Amino acid sequence: MTEATSTRRVVTGRDETGRSTVITDERIPVGQDTAICAITDLLRLAELPAASGDVALRMSGARIEPPPRGLAAKLIRFPPDERWLGAGGDQVRAAFAAVDGAEIYAGDEEIPGMHATGTVDFAIVLDGELTVLLDDAETTLCPGETLVQLTARHAWRNRTGRQATALFVMCSANEAAADGATP
């Protein structure tokens, strides 16, 4: 389990006269807290381009991927690896299943957490340090640094002694939208 907290989300839009205004200003809870991360979905768009009425703000739970042809923005908090990494494959499988990600989990015992989403992702580290593991490389990201992920197999590691937080914006990729399959 992570040091999961709620997140303040302020949403702006237009009132009935067309003037800009704050539509909601509220604290939203973590949608899913698993052994390997806590995910808070900030918004989901069913399809792009989106009209303001298509924005899903009231969500239960959290999902790892956006809707087909859609977009999702989420905060993900990663506990230090030492809290979960040695727990075994069943715990990792359960974590992916909890966020509707059982089909994307690679089940790789050599690299626990390895998976491939059918998305183009922008991951921006806000706090802490995260390492992305790929099939043949790894790289570490610090606060303010961004990873652009193009449907590649990957896993995340937090090799520090404290929680790390990243903002993810995930867009469905053409490969996923074309046939519904994850590359």
Higher pLDDT, 61 or 104: 104
Which pLDDT band holds residue 101 (cuts at 50, 70, 90)? confident
Gap between the Cα atoms of 147 and 104, Å rounded: 20
**What's the mean per-residue pLDDT of the chain?**
85
CB 35 within 8 A of CB 95: yes
* Average pLDDT of the residues in 133-157: 94
Instruction: Give pLDDT tens digits for 9-51.
Output: 898 888 889 899 998 899 988 888 888 888 988 888 888 887 7
CA distance 76 to 79: 10
User: What is the model's pLDDT at position 173?
Assistant: 87
Task: Tell me the one-letter amino acid at 109.
Answer: E
pTM metric for this prediction = 0.83
Q: What is the pLDDT of residue 176?
A: 44
- Tell me what pLDDT residue 121 has: 93
Q: Which CATH superfamily is domain 31-179 in?
A: Jelly Rolls (2.60.120.10)
Could you tell me the residue ranges of all domains in the chain?
31-179
Strands 130-133, 32-33: pairing kind: unpaired
Choose between 4 and 153: higher pLDDT: 153
CA–CA gap between residue 96 and residue 115 (Å, rounded): 9
User: What CA–CA distance (Å, rounded) separates 20 from 115?
Assistant: 41
Among candidate residues 173, 156, 169, 149, the one with its CA nearest the CA of residue 74: 169
DSSP H/E element including 93: helix 89-98
